[in-house]
Structure 1
Amino acid sequence: MENTKKILFLTGDFAEDYETMVPFQMLLMVGYEVHAVCPGKKKGDFIKTAIHDFEGDQTYTEKPGHNFQLTYSFADVNPADYEGLVIAGGRAPEYLRLNQDVLNLVKHFADNNKPLAAVCHAIQILTAARVVAGRRLTAYPAVGPEVEIAGGTFVSVEATEAVVDGNLVTSPAWPGHPKFIRAFLDVLGTKIELGQPATLASV
């Protein structure tokens, strides 16, 4: 089914591999046009991802991931063109949040009550954009103090869970992808029936 509805997908160098690959591919699967972007890079450029895993240490381990090809140029983004925004986690958010254009994009989606999804460390961008005050959200546990400092309510849930507060969908890490992506599709108004094509509809 041809569809012109677009999702903006923000990632960057050393974003988490699953948190980049999986949401991007699943949104394509259900029929959205997904513009994967990174500041300072253009369509066709690559980012390097990192694999974060949980192997019994006090924090996650990190290994080289894939090279991921961007599908759109960050400089050409007009946030008004998009149904929603997804932000990948990993190490990328710690530097992406220093970019004022990134923060302005996030503010557009928050201020206009558009669907906004962030996973793991991506919540660092939300706190830097100052869009979490008065909101309930989750994140990788180490980001929890930032959420509270920024005026949000940090919700501690298992890594397999997601938290929804209005237009905002968050999850602690990639094990939460099934619920995270399902919740984001619900907020978008996308209906999927087994055996039937996905139906894309704006809420």
Structure 2
Amino acid sequence: MKKILFLTGDFTEDYETMVPFQMLEMVGYKVHAVCPDKKKGDTIKTAIHDFEGDQTYSEKPGHNFTLNYSFNQVEVDNYDGLVIAGGRAPEYLRLNPKVIEIVKHFFKTNKPVAAICHGIQILTAANVVKGRKLTAYPAVGPEVTLAGGDFQDIAVDEAYVDGNLVTSPAWPAHPSFIREFLKIMGAKIEI
């Protein structure tokens, strides 16, 4: 069974944690949801971001999400892929040196990586987007460009693939985001 490391944290976007986690487990992957300074059984608070016609997304309290693995037990060589949730968590997760080491490992070994929305902030902090084409929530676009990436302005319900990297602007892209990640993970789903 292939294993996926899932990075998330307090005030992550609710859908961007809950939905990919459940979808990836549904298709048979072992998914370890982790957050720095937290252990298996701890919870994180999520926030629901919605698009209601304002200049940016609105934010409401989300659900509590229970982590199923301890961050300090992560051994990156044991994972086949990495998923990074969005929301507000990436702005502080990217300050953690071990998070940066983990991300760099997945790029150095060319393992599949999926990041959505503000999750791309962790990629820019890890200095792994230079020369890559990727997308993010539009407000993160300038960070992608400053980090040497080629920001792709795509619809909110689409995903962009560049080699082993799948990115999407926000949770409305879950169907394409997860489908493209499954492809680079080598999954075959027959209907």
Q: Is 2:154 the counterpart of 1:187?
A: no
Q: Structure 2 matches for 1:59-70, cutoff 5 A?
A: 59-70=56-67
TM-superposed CA distance for 1:67, in Å, is 0.3
TM-superposed CA distance for 1:5, in Å, is 1.6
Q: Structure 2 matches for 1:106-121, cutoff 5 A?
A: 106-121=103-118
Letter in 2 for 1:77: V
TM-superposed CA distance for 1:113, in Å, is 0.3
Letter in 2 for 1:69: T
Q: Is 2:72 the counterpart of 1:52?
A: no
1:100 to 97, 100, 115: 97
Letter in 2 for 1:147: V
Match of residue 87 from structure 2: 90
Distance in 2 (CA, whole Å) between partners of 1:93 and 1:180 is: 18
Letter in 2 for 1:10: L
Give the match's secondary structure for 1:28: helix
Letter in 2 for 1:73: S
Distance in 2 (CA, whole Å) between partners of 1:140 and 1:38 is: 22
Q: State the superposition RMSD in angstroms.
A: 0.4
Q: Structure 2 matches for 1:114-153, cutoff 5 A?
A: 114-153=111-150
Report the TM-score when normalising by structure 2.
1.00
Q: Structure 2 matches for 1:156-167, cutoff 5 A?
A: 156-167=153-164
Letter in 2 for 1:93: P
Q: Which runs of 5+ in 2 are unaligned?
A: none
Give the match's secondary structure for 1:110: helix
2:37 to 40, 47, 65: 40
Distance in 1 (CA, whole Å) between partners of 2:171 and 2:2 is: 25
Give the match's secondary structure for 1:67: strand
TM-superposed CA distance for 1:16, in Å, is 0.1
Distance in 1 (CA, whole Å) between partners of 2:51 and 2:161 is: 24
Give the match's secondary structure for 2:61: strand
Match of residue 72 from structure 1: 69
Q: Is 2:13 the counterpart of 1:16?
A: yes
Report the TM-score when normalising by structure 1.
0.94
Give the match's secondary structure for 2:181: helix
TM-superposed CA distance for 1:104, in Å, is 0.3
Distance in 1 (CA, whole Å) between partners of 2:49 and 2:31 is: 24
Match of residue 174 from structure 2: 177
Distance in 1 (CA, whole Å) between partners of 2:2 and 2:80 is: 7
Letter in 2 for 1:192: I
C-alpha distance after superposition, 1:59-104 (max 9, x if no partner): 0000000000001000000010001000000000000000010000
Give the match's secondary structure for 2:45: strand
Letter in 1 for 2:10: D
Letter in 2 for 1:47: I
TM-superposed CA distance for 1:9, in Å, is 0.3
Letter in 1 for 2:58: T
Q: Percent identity?
A: 75
Number of residue pairs aligned between Structure 1 and Structure 2 = 191
